Amino acid sequence: MSAMLEVEALEVFYGASQALFGVDLTVEEGQAVALMGRNGMGKTTTIQSICRMLPVRGGRIRFGGRDITALPSYRAARLGLGLVPEGRRCFPNLTVTENLIAAARPGPWTLKRVRDFFPRLGERADQYALTLSGGEQQMLAIGRALMTNPRLLLLDEATEGLAPVIRREIWTAIAALKAEGLSILLVDKTLSEILPLADACVILERGQSVWHGDPGALTDEIERRYLGL
């Protein structure tokens, strides 16, 4: 195994206010890593920094062996970082197919393959994204990231606000992507859903990574201390 993503001592500010105080995390090729922590601990900030949507003040981000710390987001995306952002963020006034095509980059994930993977996106092809259900919008957000043919898929709260049956559908889809070897970094608050999928966990506490390890090594004490359970 070699590291797909290496984040070291990451420090990020919003204006004068520091949000990350030293985040370390590694995603090995083909691994799914769960980034966890209570509300406001820096998970979304970490994901957005990796995707180069926020300036980095300290530390280093390496992706596929290359230093991307100072790269603009469109170049990071071209290197293969596929973000499924919190809140889904599809283009509301484009159709499902237009949303997918707008993201397309060459590779094994084509419009046909994405529709085979999420048949609902084929059935809703000509509907505007704003008319989709929450679950369908989430499928579209994942489908759009797949259309970029990413080497690493970053999922920020992919099941937030969805009904249990739809959540299961989304988790099944993510598990299938992992099974075919895609590297994944995911943020989610529901431990019972995220842990079966994760090869490794990283916990953030006030903008710092304070624990990392195998999901099996997560004790009740660590969960109580850092995840508030």
> Residue 171 and residue 99: Cα distance in Å, rounded?
22
Q: Give the residues lining the site for ligand ATP (CB under 6 A).
A: 14, 17, 19, 37, 39-45
> Residue 4 and residue 29: Cα distance in Å, rounded?
5
> Of the candidates 120, 114, 117, 150, which has an alpha carbon nearest to the alpha carbon of residue 134?
120
Taking the complex as a whole, the smallest distance from the CB of residue 27 to ligand ATP amounts, in Å, to 18
Nearer to ligand ATP, 136 or 157 (CB): 157
> Of the candidates 153, 138, 150, which has an alpha carbon nearest to the alpha carbon of residue 185?
153
Taking the complex as a whole, the smallest distance from the CB of residue 53 to ligand ATP amounts, in Å, to 11
Nearer to ligand ATP, 18 or 127 (CB): 18
> Residue 105 and residue 82: Cα distance in Å, rounded?
11
> Residue 187 and residue 113: Cα distance in Å, rounded?
25
Taking the complex as a whole, the smallest distance from the CB of residue 229 to ligand ATP amounts, in Å, to 15
Nearer to ligand ATP, 46 or 99 (CB): 46
> Which residues is 84 bridged to in the sheet?
155
Strands 32-36 and 183-187: parallel
Taking the complex as a whole, the smallest distance from the CB of residue 54 to ligand ATP amounts, in Å, to 9
Nearer to ligand ATP, 73 or 95 (CB): 73
Give the strands of the sheet with 3-14, arranged side by side. 17-28, 3-14, 58-63, 66-67
Q: Answer whether 205's CB lies under 8 Å from 149's CB.
A: no
Taking the complex as a whole, the smallest distance from the CB of residue 196 to ligand ATP amounts, in Å, to 21
Cα 117–chain centre separation: 18
Taking the complex as a whole, the smallest distance from the CB of residue 189 to ligand ATP amounts, in Å, to 7
Q: Enumerate residues 6+ apart whose C-beta is below 8 A from 89.
A: 141
Nearer to ligand ATP, 100 or 201 (CB): 201
Nearer to ligand ATP, 100 or 187 (CB): 187
